[in-house]
């Protein structure tokens, strides 16, 4: 039993990483109806920017805020320059665009900061949290930040006019234009916000996985999986999905014989697919009725 | 219907491509065929090998095109089918001493069955969910091939070395050249069969599902059957391509069939034009040669160069080679008048 | 008196297909005009062309300002509210959120609150359901919500696309009564596209009849309603 509890705790700790990333995934999915395959790389790039700022002597929180602002602006810029022209192109062409962006960001980061791994500081410290060896203060802080972010997003979308306008633009663009909403800008804002949230995810994840250009590859896949599991239309679902994936991955690694580190990912994905086959809109997603 | 549901008329994820527009005219086809037949007589062995790979990847892209362009289903898992085909051929040749040519239909049938079975759970998924499911398959495959349980046959992490076949009947040509013509013959056969498949009753059923699944089922198309069938056919062709690939490269190993391959094939389809079968070879050329070109332009930034080139292509021709062909056709028609 | 909306030689296209062939008409301020015609005559296209939701040529002027080249949202911001066919309800949001969206371009939050109350007095059923998801409303209720949402803009001109579509006759009468009231009391100029010509002519003071993308008849609503030939050949009743 103690093993079980410990594994669940450890799962929640890794789940916090996935939850954070999943939140960014849901954010952009709401704005543009796509999964952005380059999102992890963009988060990695943001994290490098914050690292560089700290190397230049900016204190942690200063670098944090600056990176957030730069990422927000960067996300908007990428949308305006690269994806707005593709707005009318077929869906699959957009997916190819994400893959191209992935290649570009990864390669440029490698050129600027090279591929050696770097230490990344944590503002929360890394001592055991409440005496537990399995969950550190950093991981607890990460869970706290994720939940705080979730609450802020909820308030933004439910109680601000901008949030309402963004929701309207995402759900019915034509109707949104007919009440005077500039839907094209709402998409750009969605990119900005998703990139900023991604940068938070990156800065929180970096102390755990170390900073290097390929740090987000695996994390993004788990983030996707968590978001899909929770329902791509639900930020709360995405966060819960993140924790569930983390816990399940740990339990599968512990209790299913023959599952080493290598098979953890396929097994986690298999579980998610099973869930999806039963509940195609995810655990917390809104079902969509199609008509002819 | 519960009230909180969104009711949407879903725009098809893949644009409708008229049936006739999915192929090339007879004249153009013959010119392309002549070029493919004559080219190896004038180039070095290494280039012949690359041309063989071009055909093999074109087959794999074509297979994905039947699935996505034909029936409207995504797949990021084609590398898994490719791997199964490659391993089937390799194992049969090396452990059962079977003739390489005979291993290909077996690889195709096994992959057809694999795809058909995989298509069952995939039936309930669409769009991003299907993408994730197929993605899972692609990431799991290399790990499964490494499992100790199969190691006796698969060679585990080390993989298997495959013997390259000689030209039969004492024909005076190099192994590479023989394999090229062999691959070309297989490719032409599969291409013609695919074109006919899409023109047939089944092809019409695929396209009806692609354009509007609910309407198709209302017209009496057995949606479940045809969707799984599309997966099976696509996997089968990919399997044959995989088998040919194993013979051409003379080697199979788990890490040759990662998600990167699946993504490449996907890019090949987009660049070639979704739903346009002749575009498969253009897409294949893109995924084989453009990374090399990118490497040539800048070693350190090859990824970035590749990304920029890809962006250029999709900005200029968002519908891929199909769009180029249509523009060219328009120009030729103008010149004739 | 100069016209509030002036449409000259309007031509609209869907891809290669031309849907409007040089339409010209004008709306006077404060009028309630109806645009009649059979299915496919180009009624919806005309409304969509005013809001730049379809590719078109020709000149459209609203209160002296040309609308050509303005994006849909910028046309709306001039004070033109468009109730689209199928109502455009934000089904996953609450009734109240739908109303707030109608006023999303306005900055006067106190007035918005009082306007929402005013809508509730126009349409009491919306007040009863204000926390409900809009998708749960009946067709008639959704149509009322759509009209209310458009009014939240405090529009100068309101375009309605077949408001009677799919509604029971009694509900249509109620709705038209309210439209008349809005036109008189709130001084909103209204252009309503209808297939239900009889009802629309009772409500409107001006009428245009279009056929295959051209205006074939215009005049006083009463005159057109009383002209038996017109009724028989164009309006089918």
ipTM here: 0.88
Nearest residue, CB atoms, C90 vs list A161, A175, A182: A175
pLDDT reported for residue C97: 92
Nearest residue, CB atoms, A96 vs list B140, B214, B310: B310
Residues of A (127-186) whose Cβ lies below 8 Å from B: 171
C219 vs C206: CA distance, rounded Å: 6
Torsional sign, CA B228, B231, B234, B239: negative
Tell me the pLDDT of chain B averaged across its residues. Answer: 80
CB C131 within 8 A of CB C179: no
**A125 touching B (Cβ < 8 Å):** no
Element (H, E) at C56: strand C55-62
**C135 touching B (Cβ < 8 Å):** yes
Mean pLDDT of C22-39: 88
**A96 touching B (Cβ < 8 Å):** yes
CB C206 within 8 A of CB C31: yes
Res C149 pLDDT > 90: yes
CB A163 within 8 A of CB A156: yes
**C48 touching A (Cβ < 8 Å):** no
**C131 touching B (Cβ < 8 Å):** no
CB A264 within 8 A of CB A252: yes
**C53 touching A (Cβ < 8 Å):** yes
Residue pLDDT, tens place only, B186-229: 888 888 888 888 888 888 888 888 888 788 878 777 778 888 88
Residue C62 token pair: 């609203």
What does the DSSP 8-state code read for residue B90?
H
Residue located via tokens 């303005």: C70
SS3 C74: helix
pLDDT reported for residue C200: 86
Residue B26 token pair: 């007879």
| Strands C80-83 vs C157-161: parallel, antiparallel or unpaired | parallel
Element (H, E) at C178: helix C169-185
Res C181 pLDDT > 60: yes
Against a cut of 0.90, is the pTM above it? no
**C88 touching A (Cβ < 8 Å):** yes
DSSP string for residues in B243-269: HHHHHHHTEE-GGGSSHHHHHHHHHHH
pLDDT reported for residue B135: 81
Residue located via tokens 């579509």: C165
Question: At CB < 8 Å, which residues of chain A contact C?
Answer: 161, 164-165, 167-168, 171-172, 174-183, 286
pLDDT reported for residue B217: 79
| Strands C189-194 vs C32-36: parallel, antiparallel or unpaired | parallel
B238 vs B257: CA distance, rounded Å: 12
pLDDT reported for residue B6: 42
SS3 C84: coil
Confidence band for B9, pLDDT divided at 50, 70 and 90: very low
8 Å CB contact of B3 and C92: no
8 Å CB contact of A288 and B319: no
CB B111 within 8 A of CB B85: yes
Residue located via tokens 């089904």: C91
pLDDT < 70 regions, chain A: 1, 131-133, 258-263, 286-292
Neighbors of chain B by Cβ distance (3+ pairs < 8 Å)? A, C
8 Å CB contact of C92 and A171: yes
Chain A closest CA to C68's CA: distance in Å? 16
Neighbors of chain A by Cβ distance (3+ pairs < 8 Å)? B, C
Nearest residue, CB atoms, A178 vs list C72, C92, C100: C72
Q: Which of B213-217, B328-332, C161-165 has the highest mean pLDDT?
A: C161-165
8 Å CB contact of A269 and B140: yes
Mean pLDDT of B132-143: 81
A168 vs A173: CA distance, rounded Å: 7
Mean pLDDT of B45-69: 88
Mean pLDDT of C175-179: 88
Phi, psi angle pair for C190, to nearest 5°? -130, 135
How many CA atoms within 13 Å lie on the side-chain side of A115? 5
Q: Which residue of B has its CA nearest to C93?
A: B4
**C2 touching B (Cβ < 8 Å):** no
């Amino acid at each position: 039993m103690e093993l079980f509890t410990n594994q669940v705790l450890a799962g929640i700790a890794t789940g916090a990483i996935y939850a954070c990333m999943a939140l960014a995934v849901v954010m952009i999915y709401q704005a543009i109806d796509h999964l952005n395959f380059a999102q992890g790389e963009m988060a990695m790039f943001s994290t490098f920017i914050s690292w560089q700022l700290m190397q230049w002597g900016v204190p942690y929180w200063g670098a944090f805020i600056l990176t957030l602002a730069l990422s927000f602006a960067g996300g908007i810029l990428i949308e305006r320059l690269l994806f707005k022209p593709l707005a009318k192109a077929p869906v699959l062409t957009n997916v190819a665009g994400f893959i191209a962006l992935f290649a570009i960001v990864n390669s440029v980061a490698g050129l600027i900061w090279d591929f050696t791994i770097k230490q990344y500081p944590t503002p929360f410290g890394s001592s055991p949290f409440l005496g537990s060896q399995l969950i550190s203060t950093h991981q607890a802080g990460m869970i706290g930040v994720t939940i705080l972010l979730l609450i802020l997003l909820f308030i933004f979308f439910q109680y601000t006019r901008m949030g309402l306008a963004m929701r309207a633009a995402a759900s019915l663009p034509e109707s949104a234009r007919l009440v005077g909403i500039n839907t094209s800008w709402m998409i750009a804002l969605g990119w900005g916000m998703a990139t900023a949230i991604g940068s938070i995810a990156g800065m929180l994840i970096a102390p755990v996985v170390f900073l290097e250009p390929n740090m987000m590859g695996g994390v993004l896949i788990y983030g996707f999986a968590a978001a899909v599991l929770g329902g791509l239309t639900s930020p709360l679902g995405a966060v819960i999905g993140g924790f569930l994936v983390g816990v399940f991955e740990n339990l599968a690694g512990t209790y299913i014989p023959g599952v080493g580190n290598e098979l953890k990912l396929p097994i986690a994905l298999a579980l998610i697919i099973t869930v999806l086959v039963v509940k195609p809109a995810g655990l917390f997603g809104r079902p969509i009725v199609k008509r002819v | 219907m519960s009230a909180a549901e969104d009711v949407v008329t879903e725009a098809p994820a893949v644009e409708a491509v008229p049936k006739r527009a999915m192929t090339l005219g007879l004249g153009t086809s013959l010119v392309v065929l002549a070029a493919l037949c004559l080219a190896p007589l004038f180039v070095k062995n290494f280039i012949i090998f690359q041309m063989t790979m071009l055909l093999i990847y074109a087959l794999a892209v074509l297979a994905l095109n039947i699935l996505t362009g034909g029936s409207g289903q995504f797949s990021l898992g084609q590398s898994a089918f490719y791997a199964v085909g490659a391993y089937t051929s390799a194992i049969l040749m090396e452990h059962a001493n079977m003739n390489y040519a005979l291993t290909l239909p077996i690889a195709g049938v096994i992959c057809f069955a694999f795809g058909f079975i995989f298509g069952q759970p995939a039936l309930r998924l669409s769009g991003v969910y299907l993408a994730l499911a197929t993605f899972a398959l692609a990431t799991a495959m290399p790990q499964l091939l490494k499992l100790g349980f199969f190691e006796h046959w698969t060679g585990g992490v080390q993989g298997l070395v495959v013997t390259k076949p000689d030209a039969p009947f004492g024909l005076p040509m190099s192994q590479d050249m023989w394999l090229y013509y062999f691959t070309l013959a297989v490719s032409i056969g599969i291409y013609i069969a695919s074109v006919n498949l899409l023109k047939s009753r089944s092809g019409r059923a695929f396209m009806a599902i692609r354009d509007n699944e609910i309407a198709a089922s209302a017209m009496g198309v057995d949606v479940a059957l045809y969707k799984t069938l599309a997966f099976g056919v696509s996997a089968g062709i990919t399997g044959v391509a995989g088998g040919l690939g194993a013979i051409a490269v003379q080697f199979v190993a788990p890490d040759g069939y990662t998600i990167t391959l699946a993504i490449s094939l996907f890019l090949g389809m987009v660049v070639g034009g979704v739903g346009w079968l002749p575009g498969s070879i253009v897409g294949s050329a893109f995924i084989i040669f453009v990374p090399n070109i990118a490497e040539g332009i800048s070693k350190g930034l090859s990824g970035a160069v590749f990304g920029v080139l890809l962006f250029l292509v999709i900005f200029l021709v968002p519908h891929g080679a199909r769009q180029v062909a249509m523009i060219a056709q328009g120009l030729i028609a103008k010149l004739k008048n | 008196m100069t016209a509030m909306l002036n449409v000259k030689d309007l031509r609209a296209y869907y891809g290669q297909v031309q849907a409007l062939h040089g339409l010209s008409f004008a709306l006077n301020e404060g009028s309630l005009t109806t645009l009649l015609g059979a299915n496919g005559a180009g009624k919806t296209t005309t409304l969509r062309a005013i809001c730049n939701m379809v590719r078109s040529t020709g000149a459209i002027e609203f209160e002296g300002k040309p609308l050509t080249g303005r994006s849909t949202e910028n046309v709306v911001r001039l004070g033109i509210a468009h109730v689209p066919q199928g109502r455009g309800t934000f089904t996953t949001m609450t009734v109240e959120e739908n109303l707030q969206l109608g006023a999303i371009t306005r900055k006067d939050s106190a007035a918005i609150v009082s306007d929402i109350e005013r809508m509730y007095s126009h349409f009491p059923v919306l007040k009863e359901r204000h926390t409900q998801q809009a998708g749960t409303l009946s067709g008639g209720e959704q149509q009322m919500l759509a009209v209310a949402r458009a009014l939240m803009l405090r529009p100068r001109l309101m375009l309605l696309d077949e408001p009677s579509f799919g509604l029971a006759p009694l509900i249509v009468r109620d709705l038209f009564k309210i439209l008349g009231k809005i036109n008189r009391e709130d001084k909103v100029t209204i252009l309503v596209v209808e297939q239900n010509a009889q009802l629309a002519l009772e409500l409107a003071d001006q009428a245009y009849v279009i056929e295959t993308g051209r205006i074939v008849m215009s005049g006083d609503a009463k005159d057109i309603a009383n002209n038996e030939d017109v009724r028989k050949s164009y309006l089918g009743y």
